[in-house]
A = this chain, B = another copy of it.
Amino acid sequence: MTNRRLYELVSDDGASISPFVWRTKYALAAKGLDYESTPLAFTEISQIEGGRFNTLPVLVDGIKVIGDSWAIADHLDVAYPARQPLFPFAAERSKAVFFDDWIGSTVRPLLFRICAFDIHEKLLAKDRDYFRSTREERLGESLEAAHAKRECLLPGLRAALEPVRLAARKAPYLGGQSPSYMDFMALGVFIWAGSVATTELLEKDDPVHGWLGRGLDLFGGIGRSNHLPGLGLAR
């Protein structure tokens, strides 16, 4: 019996598909904290916890209700000081923020454009109109138009992943010898895109696969609970 509850964004087959929820799932696992999951549609987020949130993850931890993956990560370090910290030093947190800025301004936007149509097709039916209207505005084109160009974007995506590829050649994890929040953020992005993509995102021999396999195996293989067609991986 746990007093933690994690609200997760799910697709029509019940898979957890938010990159931000996934980094929190890894953070909770790294701290050794269990939780109950509540699956949600995009259009249900505003209906939980008094309507205070419009994004996921949201974590209920006892009497606290926390939105935003960074706020949750900080909460976990403060609330569970006896467990291995996600950010042992302030400098490490700052560097993880830089990594988030990097992946969020380069890799994630490319993956979003490549996968936007595929995400739409996997969403719960009640989310599709909301997703289409908000995301087509962000893309500046229709989901179908973005989808038609996705093969052109794959070389740019693979080039943008070069820092991950170089890091993966030097050490088992992006932050060195042991997994860190940098890995959890990157794994979240790959699990998100890998869950929905209907094209293979990486070349078969991309060294990124080595790092990715280690990451998916962490904490009893939580990252392998989704079918990951975009990464060429069955459940």
Measured CB to CB, the residues of A under 8 A from B are 88-99, 101-102, 104-106, 160, 162-163, 166-167, 170-171, 174-177, 180, 182
Contacts and interface: CB of A to CB of B under 8 A. Distances in A.
A209 B180 CA distance: 31
B163 A106 contact: yes
B171 A94 contact: yes
A97 B167 contact: yes
A105 B176 contact: no
A160 to B, nearest CB: 8
Main secondary structure of the interface of A (DSSP, over half): helix
Contact of A174 (B90, B98, B180): B98
Contact of A180 (B91, B167, B180): B91
A95 B166 contact: no
B101 A175 contact: no
Identical chains in the assembly = 2
A213 to B, nearest CB: 19
B105 A175 contact: no
Nearest to A96: B95
Contact of A101 (B91, B104, B166): B166
A146 B220 CA distance: 51
A156 to B, nearest CB: 11
Contact of A175 (B98, B177, B180): B98
B88 A176 contact: no
Contact of A95 (B92, B101, B104): B92
A160 B162 CA distance: 13
